[in-house]
Amino acid sequence: MWQMVGRRETGRLPPHKFRALLQKTRLYSIELAGHKEIASAHKSGVNSLQQIDATEARYLLSGAADGSVAVYDIEQATAYDHSTRTSKHEALFMVDKRVLNGHLYSVSCVHWYPIDTGIFVTGSFDNFVNVWDTNTTQVELQFNMSKKVYSLSMSTLATTHMLIATGTDDTRIRLCDIASGAFTHTLSGHRDSVWVVQWSTRSEWVLVSGGCDGAIRFWDIRRAGCYQILDQQCSQIGRRPPVLKKSSRTHGREDNLCTKYLNASSPIRQRGQKRSFGISAVDSRTAHYGSVAGLQMTADGLHMISAGTDSRLRLWDVESGCNTLVNYPSTYIRGNKGIQMAVTPDSSLVFTPSLNAILVYDVWSGHSYSSLRGHYDQVNCCAFHPQGQELYTGSNDRKILVWAPRRPIDIDNFDYEDAEQAIKADEDAWSD
């Protein structure tokens, strides 16, 4: 550490690399945080967590199976325990079915409005998507999806639209417009329920969805229909098409899908002509055997990780649509709803809920770094806080746990007892 600071001072280590290296080293030592505790306000399992990144990265939003939604301030503690040196973060407020138009059943997904913390959006098994005003904690707008809502997403990039993409028990994906309060798009293609939807982190027009039919579809909302379906068998990444055989490209759609499709500026060049082939075997491509339970794009939008109920994680090269065949060992993913994974902003690590633990993998090699154990029941969701490098996880055991890079507990003579207690208290905190 001192050497790194020294190398930064002399300019041998460029500041941005210093930062990246340090973040990485810190991430590898992530463990249950002894210094921070979130007092979960929920009476049943926590299904969804989200942190706002855009403005302050300070407020955590959680949705639970009892229909309640709570907001926590993760920077400023509500109470501080000097003996254990833990800061306790209680919910700033909680809303549940007692609020007018509050959710009656399990809240499956929560999302902050990407611009500020004035609005948040929740989806629930009671078929409603609610838009809340944070200041009044009232429902401002409701969308009746008439099916269980599994997932919703808002684009953090969007400058021209304010659409909530929703994945429901229906095969269709619908986009709800907050501005008008109406549905603007219906995207059909999936053959079963859609458990996950996520906006691209590269283009504000691109939406990715994963369904129970095992398919992952890419949609450009400016055009009709989906333009890419990921195929787990298509794995020839790195193989460039031989230049001279360019002319033979029109034959096989196989080839086309494996070559470049998506350019940052114009995601769907030449797509129109390909649509004319009509429905074929293409539509039955699958990304997973089983349902697609989780999708997470890397921050630069070049790669995507998907999780399936076939207990596999797959890393996809988004532009070519290729399966990179990175093997992430020993995951266990089952269940009847989607999970929320998290990828660090530098795309080095992925956090995946797997039964009671959260598994940490290197994104590129699939090497398993650790498995974070602390929850007593199935873990549903992870949210990563990039500035503090903290991981927040929610589980069916009703708890929200904080995982942070290790802090050395120094035992100096004058606070020896304090530290001793801190360790004990740490152990206690586990076993309730």
Partner 1 sequence: MGDVSDRIGRPTDNGQIGIIDPDCRLIGLHLYDGLFKVIPIDSKGQLKEAFNIRLEELQVLDIKFLYGCSKPTIAVLFQDNRDARHVKTYEVLLKEKDFADGPWVQNNLDNGAGLLIPVPLPLGGVIIIGEQTIVYYNGFVFKAISIQPAITRAYGRVDADGSRYLLSDLTGMLHLLVITHEKDRVTGLKVERLGETSAASTISYLDNAVVYVGSSYGDSQLIKLNLQPDSKGSYVEVLESFVNLGPIVDFCVVDLERQGQGQVVTCSGAFKDGTLRIVRNGIGINEQASAELPGIKGMWSLRASSKDVYDTFLVVTFISETRILAINAEDELEETEIEGFDSDAQTLFCQNVLHDQLIQVTASSLRLVDAISRRQLNEWRAPPGLSINVAAASSSQVLLATGGGHLVYIEIGQRELIEVKHVKLEYEISCLDINPVGEDPDRSYLAVVGMWTDITARIFSLPNLELLTKHSLGGEIIPRSVLFCTFEGIPYLLCALGDGHLFNFILDVNTGQLSDRKKVSLGTQPITLRTFRSKNATHVFAASDRPTVIYSSNRKLLYSNVNLKEVNYMCPFNSASFPDSLAIGKEGELTIGTIDDIQKLHIRTVPLNEHARRIAHQEATRTFAICSAKYIPTVEDMETHFVRLLDDQTFENIASFQLDAYENGCSIISCSFTDDNNVYYCVGTGYAIPEESEPNKGRILVFLVEDGKLQLVAEKETKGAVYNLNAFNGKLLAAINHKIHLYKWTLRDDGTRELQSECGHHGHILALFVQSRGDFIVMGDLMKSISLLIYKPEEGAIEECARDYNANWMSAVEILDDDIYLGAENSFNLFTVRKNSDAATDEERSKLEVVGEYHLGEFVNRFRHGSLVMRLPDSETSQIPTVIFGTVNGVIGVIASLPQEQYMFLHKLQQNLVKVIKGVGGLSHEQWRSFSNERKTVDAKNFLDGDLIESFLDLSRSRMEEISTAMSVPVEELCKRVEELTRLH
Instruction: Please tell me what DSSP assigns to residue 335.
Output: -
Q: Which of 39, 92, 237, 425 binds partner 1 (CB under 8 A)?
A: 237
| Minimum separation from the CB atom of position 356 to partner 1 (A) | 29
Give the tokens for residue 221: 């909302």
| Minimum separation from the CB atom of position 184 to partner 1 (A) | 24
Q: How far apart are CA 156 and CA 140, in angstroms?
A: 21
Q: How far apart are CA 196 and CA 293, in angstroms?
A: 7
Do residues 208 and 194 touch, judged by C-beta distance below 8 A?
A: no
Neighbours of 230 (CB within 10 A): 27
Q: Is 238 in the site for partner 1 (CB under 8 A)?
A: yes
Q: How far apart are CA 35 and CA 170, in angstroms?
A: 43
Number of residues that bind partner 1 (CB under 8 A): 64
Q: How far apart are CA 72 and CA 210, in angstroms?
A: 30
**Residue 267, SS3 per DSSP:** coil
Q: Is 278 in the site for partner 1 (CB under 8 A)?
A: no
Q: Is 377 in the site for partner 1 (CB under 8 A)?
A: no
Q: How far apart are CA 320 and CA 228, in angstroms?
A: 10
Q: How far apart are CA 186 and CA 184, in angstroms?
A: 7
Q: Which helix (H) or strand (E) holds 88?
A: strand 86-95
Q: Is 22 in the site for partner 1 (CB under 8 A)?
A: yes
| Minimum separation from the CB atom of position 95 to partner 1 (A) | 22
Q: Is 11 in the site for partner 1 (CB under 8 A)?
A: yes
Q: Tell me the H-state helices in 266-362.
A: 271-275
Q: Which of 42, 85, 111, 314 binds partner 1 (CB under 8 A)?
A: 85
Beta bridge partners of 350: 343, 361
Residues 200-229 that bind partner 1 (CB under 8 A): 201-202
Distances (CA, A) of 109 to 128, 164, 265: 11, 12, 30
Q: Which of 126, 319, 390, 397 binds partner 1 (CB under 8 A)?
A: 319
State which residue, 39 or 299, has the beta carbon closest to partner 1. 299
| Minimum separation from the CB atom of position 326 to partner 1 (A) | 9
State which residue, 300 or 420, has the beta carbon closest to partner 1. 300
Q: Is 78 in the site for partner 1 (CB under 8 A)?
A: no
| Minimum separation from the CB atom of position 206 to partner 1 (A) | 12
Only segment of 41-49, 94-102, 125-133, 300-308 that touches partner 1 (CB under 8 A): 300-308
Q: How far apart are CA 98 and CA 304, in angstroms?
A: 39
Only segment of 104-112, 128-136, 172-180, 404-412 that touches partner 1 (CB under 8 A): 404-412
Q: Is 57 in the site for partner 1 (CB under 8 A)?
A: yes
| Minimum separation from the CB atom of position 401 to partner 1 (A) | 19
Give the tokens for residue 65: 């199976």
Residue 144 phi, psi (nearest 5) = -95, 115
Q: Is 75 in the site for partner 1 (CB under 8 A)?
A: yes
| Minimum separation from the CB atom of position 112 to partner 1 (A) | 16
Q: How far apart are CA 20 and CA 78, in angstroms?
A: 31
Q: What is the dihedral of CA 82, 83, 86, 90, to 10 degrees?
A: -70
Q: Which of 246, 251, 431, 432 binds partner 1 (CB under 8 A)?
A: 246
Do residues 48 and 108 touch, judged by C-beta distance below 8 A?
A: yes
Only segment of 91-99, 256-264, 277-285, 351-359 that touches partner 1 (CB under 8 A): 256-264
Q: Is 314 in the site for partner 1 (CB under 8 A)?
A: no
Site string for partner 1, 324-363 (x = CB under 8 A): ---------------------xxx--------------x-
Pairing of strands 86-95, 30-32: unpaired
**Residues contributing to the site for partner 1 (CB under 8 A):** 1-3, 5-6, 8-12, 14-20, 22, 25, 29, 35, 56-58, 75-76, 85, 157, 201-202, 237-238, 240-243, 246, 260, 263-265, 299-302, 317, 319-320, 345-347, 362, 364-365, 387-388, 407-408, 410-415
